[in-house]
Amino acid sequence: MTEALDHHGDQEVGDGLVDLAVNVRTGTPPAWLRDEIAASLGGLAAYPRQDEAVTAVAAKHGRPTGEVLLTAGAAEAFVLLARALRPRRAVVVHPQFTEPEAALLTAGHRVERVLLRPEDGFRLDPARVPDDADLVVVGNPTNPTSVLHPGLDRLVRPGRVLVVDEAFMDAVPGEPHSLAGRAGVRGLVVVRSLTKTWGLAGLRIGYLLAMSDLVEQLGAAQPPWPVSAPALAAVVACCSDRAAKESAEAAVETGRQRAYLLRKLSALAGVTTYGEPRAPFVLIRTPDGNQVRKALRTKGFAVRRGDTFPGLGPDWLRIAVRPEPVMDTFADALMEVLD
Ligand SMILES: Cc1ncc(COP(=O)(O)O)c(C=O)c1O
């Protein structure tokens, strides 16, 4: 396979394989969160009301409620942006999650790419984004490179919409370089998701943060009642102090596990990493990556192929960070395959 914007890690799991292809936190959703969602089921006869969930998100990020738009996952936010905006020059910074570009193409827009380079550690030099780009999409931290970009607010320009996909930001301890709390910045759109940290891919819940006129414009493109009552209950629960504590601890733990994985990988000849990974996954380069990936499957491990991401090729693989014992057996399997 080569580049394919509609390919996702969940297409690579199954068959009893250990899942290192999907970046959802293991052991999620936690029981307390499942209980909160289940408790909402008694109210399913009523149409969902968003007030409490919007207030909770606004308070979490220190923003006015008018700057919050709840969506059916981050993916809906990308579709709304693509349908509601009329960019003359849309630029997507790659390699990154492919749905923003797919949504733009589906809505009939032309898309230019800024391709980040491994030799630069996949870091973004803002000067590489054309000055007259009036829509720019960048992930932070970026999937699949795992790179966290500082200072993305330097990309804000009059007349430009800057979309920062922060779907994995809550997995970075302390969320340095998050722009989610930046109220009142014209054109800045921050997209967040409950999918990854909370294991809620199947519920479809996320949100975007932007100035209220843009929130209104994007909200007008949504169908009535776009977010279900159980999803709203999940938002309220995930904005609680308890959730903040749990996700902060999980982020630190993930950082420890990632450091462990990186140490294991650095001991393997023929495996290279680039830049400083900060997300719950690591991107590696290894000659004949696709053969390595297939051989790993025979040893019981599913890793995410890299060749479907713009700017990468068959030598790239993405590995989800998991607890140390899993990383141990994985590193052993990888060593055997490379031998
Ligand atoms: C970087 C990134 N953004 C957004 C999404 C989509 O998230 P959601 O499930 O909230 O639509 C994904 C899912 O893989 C992702 O990797």
Pocket test residue of 99, 142, 164, 172 for ligand 1, highest count of atoms within 8 A of CB: 99
Provide the 3-class DSSP secondary structure of residue 116. Answer: coil
Pairing of strands 135-139, 90-94: parallel
Q: How much is the pLDDT for 32? A: 97
Q: How much is the pLDDT for 3? A: 84
Cα–ligand 1 centroid distance for 165 (angstroms): 8
Pocket test residue of 79, 195, 205, 227 for ligand 1, highest count of atoms within 8 A of CB: 195
Q: How much is the pLDDT for 212? A: 98
pLDDT digits (tens, 9 = 90+) for 249-301: 999 999 999 999 999 999 999 999 999 999 999 999 999 999 999 999 999 99
Residues with pLDDT less than 70, the chain: 1
Cα–ligand 1 centroid distance for 110 (angstroms): 22
Q: Do 203 and 231 form a contact (C-beta atoms < 8 A)? A: yes
Cα–ligand 1 centroid distance for 267 (angstroms): 31
Query: Does ligand 1 have an atom closer than 6 angstroms to the CB of 29?
Result: no
Alpha-carbon torsion, ordered 103, 106, 108, 111, to 10 deg: 50
Q: How much is the pLDDT for 89? A: 98
Average pLDDT value for the chain:
97
Query: Does ligand 1 have an atom closer than 6 angstroms to the CB of 280?
Result: no
Query: Does ligand 1 have an atom closer than 6 angstroms to the CB of 193?
Result: yes
Q: Where are the alpha helices (DSSP H) in 220-323?
A: 229-238, 241-266, 289-298
| All structural domains of the chain | 9-27+244-338 (3.90.1150.10), 31-242 (3.40.640.10)
Query: Does ligand 1 have an atom closer than 6 angstroms to the CB of 250?
Result: no
d(CA 222, CA 203): 17
Cα–ligand 1 centroid distance for 166 (angstroms): 9
d(CA 71, CA 228): 10
Q: Which of 93, 178, 98 is nearest to 135 (CA)?
A: 93
DSSP 59-91: HHHT--GGGEEEESHHHHHHHHHHHH---SSEE
Query: Does ligand 1 have an atom closer than 6 angstroms to the CB of 152?
Result: no
